[in-house]
Structure 1
Amino acid sequence: MSEDQPLLEVENLHVSFPIRKGFFQRTVGAVQAVNGVSFSVPRGTSFGLVGESGCGKTTVARAVLQLVEPTAGAIRFDGEDVAKMDAVALNRFRGRVQAVFQDPFSSLNPRMSTGRIISEPLRVHRLTPESQIKAEVARLLDMCGLPARFADLYPHEMSGGQRQRVGIARALAMKPELIVCDEAVSALDVSIQAQIINLLEDLQKELNLTYLFIGHDLSVVRHICDQVAVMYLGRIAETAPSDPLFAAPRHPYTQALIDAVPNPDPDYEAGRHIAPLEGEVPSPANPPSGCFFHPRCPLVTDRCRQEAPHLDPVAPAHFAACWETAQTVPAE
């Protein structure tokens, strides 16, 4: 494929889950977890999906990993539609795309040593001769900042940060091109978060990895991601390169998320006024008409209540879905 071809393309992705009731489990409705999400991730870059819990960002990640089946839309990896892959191509795809999960304790088998955890994909996919597996495990551990002796330890004998390094080493065993990081640092202490983020950045530079980074900590996402998309109730509210998005957010929801992040300067924090969002996130089983954000938006108009805004360009490479703030300009 051409180097200009994005490694991952998600086009108009929909994922819904049926609501069943009664003895016969009849379908009475559906939860629209993801509702028309589109984005692309160039090779060697990091793309972040952020938003409140329940906004659909993890469902997008699971759809990319083929852990849930999309209701509609397309997911293309290196130009090939994942849904149309045969068994051989799909097996190859699963090796090229790996995941690092939120909780490193629950994602590691407590009955297996670190050496067995990391070597299992090497054996299953026959990537390394049996005589070389021990050396390969040691190499992967070293890449992730752990000494070779950790191959004999079990998950309960390690700290959270060490377990997450093992999870990263397991993902690297398949020599992936794309790694989906689903809240990969949110379960760790702040000091450990910084170490894992630095490790991910070093590995990206060394191995030319591409990341799809799912998170709700805006400071982490801003640090590690080149492009960021803000999700609300299954839709993308705003997307832009990281620095412009945080410097000049154009959607009221993005502004509210950024305002909610505390500032380390106590004088600045004491002097600023924050207008918290009112109301609760609507149910994805019964979303509001028009703009999904209008029940909580301080800029709401009658048009917002009746007509859903499109994700339109508001600045070069910057898109927002808001009738009031999106002054359309030609996209570059």
Structure 2
Amino acid sequence: MPGFLVFILSLSLLVIASLSYLILGAAADSRSQDSHRRRQIAIDAFATVLFAESDDVTKAFHVKERFERDTLIEVVSSLPIHMGDDGRKRLRSIIETPRTDRTFSRQVSARRWSRRVDAARLSGLIGSPADRAALLRDDHFAVRGVALAALSPQQVGEHADDVAAALLDPEPSVRAIAAGVLPSGGGACTMPLSAILAATSIDRRAALLAAAHITDRTLLGVLHLHARCDHPENRVLAANALAHQSPAEAESILLEMLRDPDSAVRVAAIAGLSRIGGVASLVPLRGLLDDPSWTVRTAAEKALTVIGPAGSMLLRQQNRKRAELPPSGSSGRAGIPAPVHRQLQVKP
């Protein structure tokens, strides 16, 4: 009898375990199918944002669930594309609902930083300029970084002061995002960037990276200031930024930087001059072919080749001059004939 009870108990446990496995498996399949369905809705909405030919097609989509909305935002932000104003309007019409607006307003002032990050993802599409400014000045670095990345080029110009201030953010990731975003703001960002670059401290590296993607004559003064500063890293970045400015003014500063004591700065100045391609840099670059640094000599050779036929001719002359020099330690020794290519053929 006890053996029969043990058998019944074991069988019951087996049945319960099997049923639990089936129920949990069905629930997991259901969640997976629901997740796939919502993700497909978000992807279809994304395709509508990019390729819709009429407003009626856009109105057919209503992304109401948070999962669908977040997936759509994630897809849009992860792809290296520029939607343009029309695409942003379509995306806003799909996402923005009265419920979404209320949720966004609560998330902007939420205590948990993760909820403010959710608001920052949407800040480029919905919300007022005051909401975007609050997110750009948030106490948590993740919120500031996401809010910067969500800005459109027009919004970058509207918040140029806040974006430029982010170039001095204590968090390196935020500074990197700000350096990549700021140039899209155009001329509205030039004056705030110049104000940041007015000081030559080491923490201006992100601002110098941003200046390398902006062409404006008003930046020449502050870039020249950094070209003479005490920090070699800043001087290298200043040389890179000068290469993207007006050639007439930038060339003279880069020629001055060829005499910098740091070899990395000289290499950066050579790269800038090769990009400009001015004739005035040919002779100074030829002088660097005898530089003590191997990297500087290599950079000078490449620059002379890139500048054009005149640079290539100077490089050939220098190579010919090197080939004609006697070997090391052989100068002043009698009885050693001159190299074959230097012996004169005298006709009788």
Normalized against structure 1, the TM-score is what?
0.27
Structure that is richer in strand per residue: 1
Normalized against structure 2, the TM-score is what?
0.26
Structure that is richer in helix per residue: 2
Higher relative contact order (CA 8 A, sep 6+): 1
**Highest CA radius of gyration, 1 or 2?**
2
